[in-house]
């Protein structure tokens, strides 16, 4: 696998040099290149071949190198191996996965591929072809995201905001976000990482969909790991129409739990049994809201730093009751934020004298 990454990296850097020199079209004539890159990544460079060389080659080179490091960390750097038992199943059907001869843990194929982020890879216990298939799926998933991010880098650099650099989150920076994504898709594949350009321009880390949510591309989710109220506000201050996003942080989770405790029984979305399980698994019941936020944050970061206890990676170290609270919170806020978006669109339509459908945003 490391050999595959080195080959891929060398070809990408060679293509970047050709792009700077204006010789990209000729370089793409290599008949074996599309097989090395894959169709998505080859298409990115094919689209660049007919245009001008990069306007800011230094910034582009820095961005490409960061994306390559990210690809290596999240796909090719496997430190722990688990097993898949039984036939590979595509779609929503789970398979048994095992780590260190522990209990079998059912996981979907998309979840198995996503564990590569944490340096956790899987082999099939008795089928070499299935092992190869698992590896190819994980690599394809990472390369497709790399191609998508590389395309977005080009779009951003064509019209860069004044005085603003392209900050691509490192693997370390993205661990909290990935843990939240793992938790949200534990029971169903309802969320995915947002595009780099959405993160850069719209402060969107994830997109989440539910069958009855009035949002074609899914609700926007912004994730922060802070529990400090002052820092929390400072980091969210630049987000316009914040009410149209789901803000997922330890502080907003603590506020949600506090709201549920104080709400009348008929207004709660978390029944008393869920709240009792939450407090029992948290290990304490802080008096102050900020203390609760820090307690939630501590649990989540302990999980990120923990050794793997089963094939789910760090998510397994987050208490089940807290994982449930996170999913309920995000679902509630997804519907609330979508309603707020539609209210904003109607208001804007009234000001412009147009119909709401004409000003409707995918959001």
pLDDT, mean over the chain: 90
Single pTM value for the model: 0.91
Q: Which helix (H) or strand (E) holds 85?
A: strand 80-85
Residue 253, token pair as written in the block = 């989770």
Q: What is the pLDDT of residues 290-342, one digit of tens each?
A: 999 999 999 999 999 999 989 999 999 999 999 999 999 999 999 999 998 88
CB 209 within 8 A of CB 215: yes
Q: What letters, b where the CB count within 10 A reaches 16 and e where it falls short, cover 243-253? A: ebbbbbbbbbb
pLDDT above 80 for 360: no
β-pair partners for 289: none
pLDDT above 80 for 284: no
CB 192 within 8 A of CB 207: yes
Separation of first and last alpha carbons in the chain: 39
Angle subtended at Cα 260 by Cα 257 and Cα 264, rounded to the nearest 5 degrees: 165
How far is residue 33 CA from its own chain's centroid?
29
**DSSP letter (8 states) at residue 77:** -
Residue 273, token pair as written in the block = 């049994």
d(CA 221, CA 19): 35
| Confidence at residue 162, expressed as pLDDT on a 0 to 100 scale | 58
How far is residue 302 CA from its own chain's centroid?
20
Please report where in the chains the tokens 């960061």 appear, as a residue: 66
| Confidence at residue 89, expressed as pLDDT on a 0 to 100 scale | 86
d(CA 176, CA 15): 33
d(CA 245, CA 340): 9
CB 316 within 8 A of CB 102: no
Please report where in the chains the tokens 């969909």 appear, as a residue: 209
Q: What is the pLDDT of residues 222-265, one digit of tens each?
A: 999 999 999 999 888 888 888 999 999 999 999 999 999 999 88
């Amino acid at each position: 696998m490391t050999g595959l990454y080195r080959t891929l990296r060398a070809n990408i850097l060679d293509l970047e040099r050709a792009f700077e020199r204006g010789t990209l079209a000729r370089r793409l004539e290599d008949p074996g290149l599309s097989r090395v890159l894959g169709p998505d990544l080859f298409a990115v460079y094919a689209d660049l071949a007919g245009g001008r060389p990069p306007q800011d080659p230094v910034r582009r080179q820095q961005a490409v190198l960061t994306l390559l490091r990210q690809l290596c960390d999240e796909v090719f750097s496997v430190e722990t191996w688990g097993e898949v038992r039984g036939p590979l199943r595509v779609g929503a059907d789970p398979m048994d996965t095992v780590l260190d001869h522990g209990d079998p843990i059912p996981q979907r194929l998309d979840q198995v591929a996503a564990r590569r982020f944490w340096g956790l890879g899987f082999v099939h216990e008795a089928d070499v072809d299935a092992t190869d298939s698992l590896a190819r799926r994980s690599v394809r998933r990472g390369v497709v995201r790399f191609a998508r991010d590389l395309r977005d880098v080009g779009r951003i650099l064509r019209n860069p905001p004044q005085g603003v650099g392209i900050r691509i989150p490192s693997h370390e920076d993205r661990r909290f976000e990935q843990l939240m994504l793992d938790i949200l898709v534990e029971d169903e594949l309802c969320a995915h990482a947002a595009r780099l350009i959405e993160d850069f321009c719209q402060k969107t880390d994830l997109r989440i969909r539910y069958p009855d949510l009035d949002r074609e591309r899914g609700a926007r989710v912004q994730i922060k790991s802070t529990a400090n109220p002052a820092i929390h506000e400072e980091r969210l201050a630049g987000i316009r129409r914040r009410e149209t996003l789901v803000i997922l942080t330890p502080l907003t989770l603590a506020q949600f739990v506090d709201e549920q405790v104080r709400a009348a029984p008929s207004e709660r979305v978390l029944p008393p049994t869920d709240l009792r399980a939450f407090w029992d698994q948290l290990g304490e019941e802080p008096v102050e809201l900020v203390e609760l936020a820090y307690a939630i944050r501590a649990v989540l970061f302990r999980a990120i730093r923990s050794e793997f206890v089963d094939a789910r990676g760090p998510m397994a170290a987050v208490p089940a009751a807290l994982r449930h609270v996170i999913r309920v919170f995000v679902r509630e806020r997804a519907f609330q934020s979508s309603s707020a978006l539609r209210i904003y669109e109607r208001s804007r339509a009234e000001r412009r004298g147009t119909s709401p459908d004409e000003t409707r945003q995918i959001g």
